[in-house]
Amino acid sequence: MSALQVVEILLLAGCLLLALWLVVLWLRRRALAAHEPVCPCAIQLPGSPRWRLGLLRMGAHHLDWFSVGGLTTSPAMSWAREGLEISTPAPESVSLPGLDAAVAVTLTRGDDHLVDLAVEPKIYPAVRSWLESAPPGHNANVT
């Protein structure tokens, strides 16, 4: 086998692996969004200057964050809905690849600063209304 044939085989194998990776990511995204809304976002942990891109899923009782490149369908971070508070957006937008002019908000529980969250401006009202609405079955018998 010549060197050219080896290079062609390696390039073909690389292209096939890339195509397989993209199909797996697409299937994972479909599985994550099967029953609950999912939107692109980024998080910044307290004390870290780095933003991490991911997917935010608003479930009935939890706000879940998934890493963009992960393979698992379980969340990398999850916050219970009850007691979770969201700040108003910062006046300046955050410039992140994959998010158009994102707004940054802070998620807190009591006095604990949990994470900074960057979402697109059109997604922020959805997250805020999800957080401020009562979860299903919570205080259902209020008179």
Judgement on whether residues 3 and 62 belong to the same structural domain of the protein: no
Judgement on whether residues 51 and 24 belong to the same structural domain of the protein: no
User: Cα dist. 112→4, 53, 93, 98, 134 in Å?
Assistant: 59, 22, 24, 29, 22
Q: Domain for residue 137, yes or no?
A: no
Judgement on whether residues 28 and 41 belong to the same structural domain of the protein: no
Mean pLDDT (10-residue bins), the chain, 143 residues:
92 96 87 84 91 90 87 88 88 82 90 91 90 66 47
Residue 99: its pLDDT value, please? 83
Judgement on whether residues 14 and 47 belong to the same structural domain of the protein: no
Give the CATH number, domain containing residue 60.
Answer: 2.30.29.30
Q: Which domain holds residue 88?
A: 37-132
pTM above 0.75, yes or no: yes
